[in-house]
Amino acid sequence: MSDYKPNTSADVLHAKLRQRIWEGRFLPGDRVSIRALAQEEGVSVIPVRDAVRRLVAEGALCFADSRTIEVPRLSLANHRDILFARMQLEPETASRAFPALSQNDLDTLVSHDMAVNRAIEAGDLDAYMAANFDFHFHIYRKAGTPVLFRLIEILWLQSGPSMRYIAGQYRAQEMAADFHKEATDALTRRDCDGFAAALRNDIAQGMDFIRNAETSPEGHPAP
């Protein structure tokens, strides 16, 4: 997450819901109840309504009608836009982070990648999504580019639920191309171009899963 520190009930809830969306705790088409969230969090509906409105503004949630809020499905048109934006922003941000990444950072990234692999082997989608998020955002935080960082956060808000859905449709071996390891290997040999390329390939693989599901009869339909 960014360096912004939440200081109101709405801020805290907004940050919590963002993390849940990034990690795919909501799926495309899920309904979001303000009253149910208020009861779950033990707060009034006012801060929940404020947090949800922010998420709607960020494209993470949408109004299905005047009373119904839901997680949007990722249409093919949005997929192309998000893929284009991620492919431009994330490798560039990784390149800017590269000089600041130390041996401790490399050790942390290897640990996150191992957590991703363990989650895939165990079929633990929640752990997979969380570890994948931790791997990428550990890098992006090091770039010192707050504008790019906020844009990447929003792109992940808009793609996280669909990525969680797709992760559940593929067997572990179909997700086995370990571009994270390619990235950490490039960092070990101090190869900035190889580091950025590995992340670019990782993004392309993940977004290809979404595209394939959207065009497959078994995939969830675009709205």
Q: In which element (H, E) is residue 130 found?
A: helix 125-141
> Which residues is 69 bridged to in the sheet?
32, 63
Q: How many angstroms separate the most distant Cα atoms in the chain? A: 54
The neighbour count for residue 99, using CB atoms within 10 Å, is 10
Alpha carbon distances (Å) from 99 to 96, 192, 222: 7, 8, 40
Is the pLDDT reported for residue 67 higher than 50?
Answer: yes
Segment 160-179, tens digit of pLDDT: 888 887 777 665 445 546 89
Q: How confident is the model at residue 215 (pLDDT cuts 50, 70, 90)?
A: low
Query: Which CATH superfamily is 76-215 part of?
Result: GntR ligand-binding domain-like (1.20.120.530)
State whether CATH 1.10.10.10 applies to domain 9-70: yes
Q: Where are the domains of the chain?
A: 9-70, 76-215
Name the 3-class secondary structure at 70: strand
Q: Is 146 exposed, middle or buried (0-12, 13-18, 19+ CB in 10 A)?
A: exposed
Q: Rounded CA gap, 169 and 165, in Å?
A: 7
Q: Is the pTM of this model over 0.95?
A: no
Is the pLDDT reported for residue 138 higher than 90?
Answer: yes
Is the pLDDT reported for residue 56 higher than 90?
Answer: yes
